[in-house]
Structure formats: structure tokens, C-alpha cells
Amino acid sequence: MTKDLTNKYHRLRTILQDLGSVAVAYSGGVDSTLLLKVAQEVLGERILAITADSETTPQQERKDAALLARELGVEHLVVAGRELELQEFLRNPTDKCYICKKARFSELVKMARERGLNAVVDGGNLDDQADFRPGMRAVEELGIRSPLAEAGLTKAEIRLLSKRLKLPTWKKPAYACLASRIPYHHEITVEKLRQIDAAEELIRKRGLATQVRVRHYGDTARIEVEPVSIHRLAAKMVRSDLIKELKTLGFKFVTLDLEGYRTGSLNPAEVKTKTES
């Protein structure tokens, strides 16, 4: 590792050591897995991993979280995510991430107190601070700590450090909340979330792309993949099969976005920075 990354790694360890004991908001993704690993190194059994089980989370992500927690040997609780019970969230406003995180993290803070843990920590990193992330307001309001960001770690550095620590997530693609595939102010429903999850998993399992987003426009699916993979989905036989399979999921029209995958493609016009999607 470079001297700068080594310093950030030690800074992360110091931050966690000073906290003494933590509940980790754990998704099984790149960031929270590194955070959980280092917390275990530093704090031993004085940690608890908590994962929200919700239709807004891809099924594969939920499976990964359970598997990785077992492999790391940490105590892992799976709790019900209740954002789909909130009408204000289902209406899908531009600050839906704030609504969701406020509800989820309020529950985590309560659980941490009941367990006698000193803090709740999440996997926010330095790059997140430049993005359009309304959920960060809930993090600030509830006093959630983001040790990766505090240590100055970027996403690229987190991947590199994860590789050095032999974590299988170092090259894992971003999944993100499935609700981020639905245009703002279009109602969020369980049916839509399941359609999106099934469509994206179908594309991944076929090996057609690493980074996939299926944007949900009612009866239309708009597929985004990394530009280098567009030709695979556009090939005649693949395209024909893919259309049939996505139509069986309930879509009437299937489109391929030639601009390719990018974060924030569903942003309202007034938002010029990236979204959490």
C-alpha cells in the first residue's frame, strides 16, 4: 500500500478503537464489509452487524451479507426494514432516502443502546460527500458515525484496501437501493421492486454485464449497463431472448440505453450532482 493509504487505514483503526464498541449498519457491499472487517480487527466481540431485510434491497445483496458475516465470524442480526410501511416513502419524493434512513437508523440507534454499544457506524465514504445524498441528513441528525469518510477513504481506496485484506467484495459492483430505479414521484410498490430485482439478476447471471440498472417506467424497462457491455445485450440472439424474459416479468417494452450506466440518470433537472442510485 502507499504511505497515504497506510496512514488512512491506521486512522480508521484509531477512530474505531476510540469508539470502543459499535453497531455496524451492514449491507454486504464493498464499503460496509471493509468497515465490519476492520471493526472486528480492532474491537473483537464488541461489534454487532445489523442488516435491514427489505424488498428495496436486492436478494443477492441480502444473501451476500449473511454469508460474509458468517465467514467473518461476527454476530449478525437481520431486522425488518419498514420503509415500505411509510406512505411518504412510497410516494417517492426526491428526499425518499432521508425518509428511509431516518426510519432505519432510528431503529439501529435504539438497538445499539439496548446492547450497550457506544455508537452506530455506517459505510459512508469520502466520495459520498460530493454526491446528491439526502440520506446523509438523517445520518447527521441521529449522530451516526461514518469512519471510512472520517479517515478520508475514497471508494477506489476502499476497494484497494479490501483487496489487500483479501475481502471478496473488493471488486463487487454497486447494487444500491432498488427504489432508486423508479423515477421520482412515481409510486414505489413491492411489485415494481421485485420486477427490477429479477430483471437485473437475470442480466447478471447471463454474464452480460457487471454493472446493471433496470430503470422502471411503468410498462417500460430501460436497461443501463457499462458502455463496454452494450454490444453484448444488443446482439441479435441475446436481445431477442432478453426481451422475451423481461416481458414475462411484466414489462411491455424493453429498451437499451446507449449512453450506458451512470449514477443519477433519474435525477430531477434541478439536481446537477449524482444520486445514490
Closest CA to 24 of 85, 83, 96, 79: 79
Q: What is the pTM of this model?
A: 0.91
Q: What is the DSSP letter of 145?
A: B
Element (H, E) at 16: helix 3-19
Q: How far apart are CA 184 and CA 271, in angstroms?
A: 12
Q: Where are the chain's structural domains?
A: 3-171, 178-256
- Beta strand pairing call for 47-53 and 253-256: unpaired
Query: How many CB atoms are located within 10 Å of the residue 85 CB?
Result: 10
CA distance 270 to 188: 22
- The set of cell numbers assigned to 261 is 450506466
pLDDT of residue 275: 42
pLDDT, tens digit, for every residue of 15-51?
999 999 999 999 999 999 999 999 999 999 999 999 9
What percentage of the chain reaches a pLDDT higher than 70? 95
C-alpha cell read off for 144: 451516526
Between CA 103 and CA 58 the distance in angstroms is 19
205-231 mean pLDDT: 96
Rg for the chain, CA atoms, rounded: 19
Answer whether residue 103 shows pLDDT above 60. Answer: yes
- With cut-offs at 50, 70 and 90, classify the pLDDT of residue 131: low
> pLDDT at residue 270 above 60?
no
Q: What is the pLDDT of residue 147?
A: 98
CA distance 129 to 243: 38
CA distance 180 to 172: 19
Over range 233-248, report the average pLDDT: 96
Class of domain 3-171: alpha beta
174: confidence class by pLDDT, cuts 50, 70, 90: confident
- pLDDT, tens digit (0-9, with 9 covering 90-100), for 139-154: 999 999 999 999 999 9
- CATH number corresponding to 178-256: 3.30.70
Question: Beta strands of 60-219 (E only): which ranges?
Answer: 76-80, 119-121, 212-217
Q: At 181, is the secondary structure helix, strand, or coil?
A: helix
How far apart CA 47 and CA 115 sit, in angstroms, is: 10
Residues 212-233, mean pLDDT to the nearest whole number: 97
More confident residue, 265 or 39: 39
Residue 208 scores a pLDDT above 60: yes
Q: Which long-range contacts (CB under 8 A, 24 or more apart) does 149-155 make?
A: 149/124, 149/125, 150/11, 150/12, 150/15, 151/8, 151/9, 151/11, 151/12, 151/15, 152/8, 152/11, 152/126, 153/8, 153/12, 153/125, 153/126, 154/125, 154/126, 154/127, 155/30, 155/31, 155/125, 155/127
